[in-house]
């Protein structure tokens, strides 16, 4: 490994490994504000791929994009009591403009329910105005004070937040699950990250929601990561903001609302799941540059090799290839450089390859090499990219499945979390018992209540009372 390579090992020092990968792969730069990071072009390109994929999915469902202000008057934020209570510790406030004190504090958007729903009451009058399906792509600020981790937990991040209103509870809950299914597609189809879908416990649900559905990922540091959420807000906000509609029966009713979000945390999850001791590994479907061409410039045929490499670049344009024909760097240095940055495929071609009308394709995820004919390169590149995408998901799924340990009692629970696993336990699902578990096992929390539940439920592993659900527990980010 060169001096510029990743020096920490993923399995030995996960935190240091992750820090080195995101810095050396040029995903981030630290800013002058603690807890706020700069997304470099390599990271933003991944976010663009995620955004394009999800934006298309929700537009197919009739959702339209809008934009609402960054600044929220304090009076609006306080309108829904549970909501403001949940977010108060994280809110950043604007109190002055120039040399003048503001008459009312303005919150810098921690989430947009309140400013959006103040507007919804103007737009919704009749059942004909429903459903109202809007989304916005924006940034939010949450003044986190605990354990900042780039992408995973930062004071400012990018996200989409959907805000939808319906005439009935049934429509609301159905749509919340449909959105969760689209989030699963983002992670499993393009990021190659397996997730667990379920419902949050009462203690862990979104402030102001009736129900929070989530998808959760698991990484080799032994921690679960909340990947995306879809909330059924019930009528909590529509009552607080007086959002009513005249129904077909000519009775005035409050709407049923949802909110749902996916953030740049997804980039951090992708990095944690797929990265290795050489650096970043980008799933092909979110890679801007899907391959790099490295000509082996030795002997008298340099010009011929470069010319062939340039021709290959044109031929493979659909994959946005990089051609690295620098003569001041050795092939080994170049391999290391692009391995750190996670480029999915590498094409090697030298004088002997040209004579044989062939080249070598190397996969980033497993190092597998294949000799292919130059004439077949487009077909072989497509095949290699698709194999890599599927292989990455299968590998990650195997790891996650093997990390979920079904337990029957406190001793087995303690052993599972100590070994950095997810404990799958029968649980009474009470707030009091959940608090006891969290305190007793040093920060271990409920992950979610998986949709897939066993047919028979017996006793809570912790208190011994009748169990209500099988619940997942783990340390979390």
Omega before residue 131 within 30° of 0, cis: yes
Domain around 437: 403-476
User: pTM surpassing 0.85?
Assistant: yes
- Number of domains the chain contains: 3
No. of helices (H) and no. of strands (E), the chain: 14, 24
For residue 268, give the nearest of 5, 47, 29 by alpha carbon. 47
Query: Which CATH number fits the domain that encloses residue 347?
Result: 3.40.50.800
Same domain for 369 and 408: no
Same domain for 239 and 314: no
Same domain for 245 and 300: no
Same domain for 349 and 222: no
Q: Please state whether beta strands 223-234 and 256-263 pair in parallel, antiparallel, or not at all (unpaired).
A: antiparallel
Q: Are 269 and 191 in contact (CB under 8 A)?
A: yes
Would you state the structure tokens that stand for residue 28, as one six-digit string?
């981030």
Task: Output the tens digit of pLDDT for each of the chain's 477 residues.
Answer: 344 799 999 999 999 999 999 999 999 999 999 999 999 999 999 999 999 999 999 999 999 999 999 999 999 988 877 777 777 788 999 999 999 999 999 999 999 999 999 999 999 999 999 999 999 999 999 987 677 899 999 999 999 999 999 999 999 999 999 999 999 999 999 999 999 999 999 999 998 899 999 999 999 999 999 999 999 999 999 999 999 999 999 999 999 999 999 999 999 999 999 999 999 999 999 999 999 999 999 877 889 999 999 999 999 999 999 999 999 999 999 999 999 999 999 999 999 999 999 999 999 999 999 999 999 999 999 999 999 999 999 999 999 999 999 999 999 999 999 999 999 999 999 999 999 999 999 889 999 999 999 988 899 999 999 999 999 999 999
Q: What are the pLDDT digits (tens) for 404-460?
A: 999 999 999 999 999 999 999 999 999 999 999 999 998 899 999 999 999 888 999
- Could you say which of 249, 274, 299 is where a domain stops? 274
Alpha helices, DSSP H, located in 316-376: 331-340, 351-356
Same domain for 138 and 33: yes
Residue at token pair 């992670």: 187
Would you state the structure tokens that stand for residue 334, as one six-digit string?
């170049």
User: d(Cα 463, Cα 433) in Å, to the nearest integer?
Assistant: 7
Would you state the structure tokens that stand for residue 60, as one six-digit string?
């197919």
Query: Which CATH number fits the domain that encloses residue 247?
Result: 3.30.930.10
């Amino acid at each position: 490994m060169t001096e510029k390579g990743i020096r920490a090992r993923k399995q030995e020092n996960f935190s240091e490994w992750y820090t080195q990968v995101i810095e050396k792969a040029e995903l981030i730069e630290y800013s002058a504000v603690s807890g706020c990071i700069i997304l470099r072009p390599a990271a933003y390109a991944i976010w663009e791929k995620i955004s394009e994929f999800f934006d298309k999915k929700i537009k197919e469902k009739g959702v339209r994009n809008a934009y609402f202000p960054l600044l929220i008057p304090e009076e609006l934020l306080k309108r829904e009591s549970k909501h403001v209570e949940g977010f108060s510790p994280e809110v950043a406030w604007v109190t002055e403009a120039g040399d003048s004190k503001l008459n009312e504090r303005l919150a810098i958007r921690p989430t947009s329910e309140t400013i959006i729903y103040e507007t919804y009451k103007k737009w919704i009058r009749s059942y004909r105005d429903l459903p109202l399906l809007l989304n916005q792509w924006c940034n939010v600020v949450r003044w986190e004070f605990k354990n900042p981790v780039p992408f995973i937990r930062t004071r400012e991040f990018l996200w989409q937040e959907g805000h939808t209103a319906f005439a009935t509870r049934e429509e609301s809950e159905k749509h919340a699950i449909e959105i969760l299914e689209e989030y699963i597609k983002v992670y499993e189809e393009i990021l190659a990250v397996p997730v667990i879908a379920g419902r949050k416990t009462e203690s862990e649900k979104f402030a102001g929601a009736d129900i929070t559905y989530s998808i959760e990922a698991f990484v080799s540091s032994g921690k679960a990561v909340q990947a995306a959420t879809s909330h059924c807000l019930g009528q909590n906000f529509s009552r607080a903001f007086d959002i009513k509609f005249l129904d077909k029966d000519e009775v005035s009713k409050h709407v049923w609302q949802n909110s749902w979000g996916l953030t740049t945390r997804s980039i951090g999850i992708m990095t944690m799941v797929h990265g290795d001791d050489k650096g970043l590994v980008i799933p092909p479907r979110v890679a801007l540059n899907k391959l790099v061409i490295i000509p082996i410039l030795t002997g008298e045929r340099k010009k011929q090799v470069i010319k062939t490499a340039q021709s290959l670049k044109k031929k493979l344009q659909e994959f946005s290839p990089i051609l690295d024909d620098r003569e001041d760097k050795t092939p080994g240095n170049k391999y290391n450089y692009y391995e750190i940055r996670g480029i999915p495929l590498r094409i090697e071609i030298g004088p002997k390859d040209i004579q044989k009308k062939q080249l070598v394709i190397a996969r980033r995820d497993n190092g597998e090499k294949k000799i292919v004919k130059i004439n077949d390169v487009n077909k072989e590149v497509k095949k290699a990219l698709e194999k890599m995408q599927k292989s990455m998901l299968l590998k990650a799924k195997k790891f996650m499945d093997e990390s979920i340990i079904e337990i029957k009692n406190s001793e087995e629970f303690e052993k599972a979390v100590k070994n950095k696993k997810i404990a799958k336990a029968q649980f009474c699902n009470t707030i009091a018992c959940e608090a006891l578990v969290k305190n007793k096992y040093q920060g271990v929390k409920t992950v979610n209540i998986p949709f897939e539940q066993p047919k028979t439920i017996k006793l809570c592993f912790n208190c011994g009372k009748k169990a209500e659900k099988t619940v997942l527990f783990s340390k979390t980010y």
